[in-house]
Structure 1
Amino acid sequence: MFDFSGKVVLITGAAGGIGQGLCEAFLGWGATVLAFDRAAEVLAEMDARLHKASPDLTDLEAVKAAVASLTAITGPVDIVVNNAGAAAATALSNLKPEDWTHDLAINLSAAYHCVEATKEAMFARGAGVIVNIGTVNAMLAIGHPAYSAAKAGLVSYTKALAVEYGPRGIRANLVAPGTVKTQAWNARAAQKPEVFDDLKKWYPLRDFANPRDIANAVAFLSCDLGRMITGVVLPVDAGLTAGNPVLASELTLESF
C-alpha cells in the first residue's frame, strides 16, 4: 500500500496497542523504525528489526541522548510519530494535581521533546514529517480531562509546527482517533463485557477503528500523497465528531 523504503521513522508509545500497530505497519512498508517506550520488557519481545530505546520522554536530554544513540546507527529521522500518551484520571472529581502534571508531561511535553531532538537534522535536509497522535477528547468533553486538555494543546502545537517550520520543508499534522480496540480497554471490557456494543450507537459507522486504521492514516499524511497537507487534524473516529446519531434521531423523530 505504501513504500517507506529508505525512511527512518521514530514512533513513541511503541509498546501500546496503537504503537505496536504503527511499528508493524511501517516495518512492513520498508521503513527503519526507532521504537520508544518506557515498557522496556514489552519492547524486548517485539520485532527484532526495531531499534529500541526506553528514554523518559518527559526529560528532553534523555530523549536527545536516545535519538543520538540510535541515529548514529540508522541515520537521521525522517518521520516522527508522537504516539505516546496516558490518562491518569477519568473525571475532574478524581483528578489530583499530580495527575494533571503527569498527563500534560506525557501527552504534550513528550511530543515537544521528540521534535526538539530531531528537528535540526530535518532542517539540515530541508525535509521532514511530524505526525502527532491526538484524540477526539481534545474536541469533546467525554472524560479524562487532564489527558484531553493536553491533547488539545497538542492540536495547537501541531498547527504552530506547520506554520513556523513549513518554510523549512517540514509538514506537521495530527491524527485524532476515537475509540480504538486495544488492550487499554481490557479492564473496562472485563468490568462490562458489553461496553463496545453499548458504545456503537454513538458512532455513525457503528464500528471502531483498529490500530491498522490509525497506521494507514499516519502513513497517508507521511508520504508524498499528502505532500500538500499540513496543519490539519484528521479524525479517525467512525464519524463520532461529525455528529451524534442518537441526538439527531431524537431531535428529528427519525430513525438513523
Structure 2
Amino acid sequence: MKRLEGKVALVTGAVGGIGTAIVEDFLAEGAKVILCDVKADDVLARVAELVKAGHPVFAAPANIVDAAAVRDAVDAAVAKAGPIDIVVANANIGGRPATLAKTSAESWRADIGDNLAGQFNTIATAIDGMKARRSGSIVVVGSVNGLTTLGQPAYSAAKAALVSYTRTMATEYGAFNVRANIVCPGTVRTPAWAERVKNRPETFETLMKWYPLRRVAEPREVAKAITFLASDDASFITGAMLPVDGGLMAGNRLMANELTHEEL
C-alpha cells in the first residue's frame, strides 16, 4: 500500500520548486492533492495538466495572506476532494532586505505576512475538521534561516517563529491525534534562485563549501522528508524540527579548520 493512500492533502506554494516536488511525491504515494498558490493561472494550468494525466488534483488558487480568500478557495476544493487529512504549509516569499539597516516597517510587515501569518491562515482552513475527525498531519516548511543568522532578518524572524508555532500546534492539537512538524531546508536548487544565479552564475558553487555534503539540495530531497512526516510512518512524531540541510546546522567545518589547523 502506498504511504498516503486515501489521504487528501492541501499543499500551498504548490507550483513553486519545492511545491511541485511535494505534489509529485504525494501523488506517487496515492494522495489526492489540492494545489494552492497565489499564481492562479499557473495553478489552473498545472491542475489541468495533471488531471489530463489521470491524477486526482484540485485547484485552490489564493493568496494565503488573505484569510477569507484562502478559506473560500480551499472550501471549494474540499467540496470536490473531500476533507483534508494533510496540510503542507509550504508557501513563502524569499526575504526582501538583506540587513536590518535596509529593513523598513513595511518590508518587515510584508515578510511576516507572507511567511508567518499566511501559514496560520492556511492551517486554519483545515484544523477544525482534523480535530473533529481526531486525525491529521501538518507539515510546515521553514528554513535554516530561522535557526541561525544568515541575513534577511524579517524573513528569518518569521521562519524562527514558525518553529515555535509548530511546537505549539503539536502541544495543543496532540489530544486530537493531530500531528505538527516542521522541516527546515538549507539552500535548494529552485527557480526562486534564478535572479541571483543570473547575476552571479557561480552562486551555488560558492555556497557548496558551507555544506558538509558539499552540494545544495534538489527539491525532491526536501519533498521526501515532508512525505515521511506527513505519512503514518511518522505516527509518533510530532513537534519535531527536521533540518534538511546537508549538515549545515551540524557544525562549521571551515571554522573548525581554522581552529585546529587541520583540513577536516
**Could you state the TM-score of these two structures normalised by the residue count of structure 1?**
0.96
The structural deviation recorded for 1:121 is 0.9
Gaps of 5+ in 1: none
Structure 1: distance between partners of 2:45 and 2:73: 19
Question: Alignment partner for residue 113 of structure 2, among 105, 115, 124?
Answer: 105
Question: Alignment partner for residue 182 of structure 2, among 174, 178, 186?
Answer: 174
The structural deviation recorded for 1:145 is 0.8
Q: Deviations over 1:74-107 (max 9, x none)?
A: 1110000000111222222322221111111111
Q: Is the 8 A contact 1:79 1:128 kept in 2?
A: yes
Which residue pairs with 2:43 in the alignment? 43
Which residue pairs with 1:200 in the alignment? 208
Amino acid corresponding to residue 152 of structure 1 in structure 2: A
1:163 correspondence with 2:171: yes
1:154 correspondence with 2:162: yes
Which residue pairs with 1:73 in the alignment? 80
Distance 1:107 1:184, change over 3 A: same
The structural deviation recorded for 1:48 is 2.9
Which residue pairs with 1:55 in the alignment? 62
The structural deviation recorded for 1:45 is 2.9
Q: Is the 8 A contact 1:103 1:150 kept in 2?
A: yes
Amino acid corresponding to residue 40 of structure 2 in structure 1: A
Q: Decide which moves more: 219-228 or 169-178.
A: 219-228
Which residue pairs with 2:251 in the alignment? 243
Aligned with 2:123: secondary structure?
Answer: helix
Amino acid corresponding to residue 229 of structure 2 in structure 1: L
1:188 correspondence with 2:190: no
Counterpart mapping for 1:190-229 below 5 A: 190-229=198-237
Aligned with 1:241: secondary structure?
Answer: helix
The aligned length equals 256
The structural deviation recorded for 1:212 is 0.6
Which residue pairs with 2:10 in the alignment? 10
Q: Decide which moves more: 167-176 or 109-118.
A: 109-118
Structure 1: distance between partners of 2:59 and 2:33: 8
- Using the aligned pairs only, state the percent identity: 45
Gaps of 5+ in 2: 52-56
Structure 1: distance between partners of 2:234 and 2:197: 36
Aligned with 2:249: secondary structure?
Answer: coil
Q: Is the 8 A contact 1:2 1:219 kept in 2?
A: no
The structural deviation recorded for 1:2 is 4.9
Q: Is the 8 A contact 1:133 1:174 kept in 2?
A: yes
Q: Is the 8 A contact 1:249 1:255 kept in 2?
A: yes
Q: Deviations over 1:196-237 (max 9, x none)?
A: 111111111101111111111001111121111100110000
**Could you state the TM-score of these two structures normalised by the residue count of structure 2?**
0.94
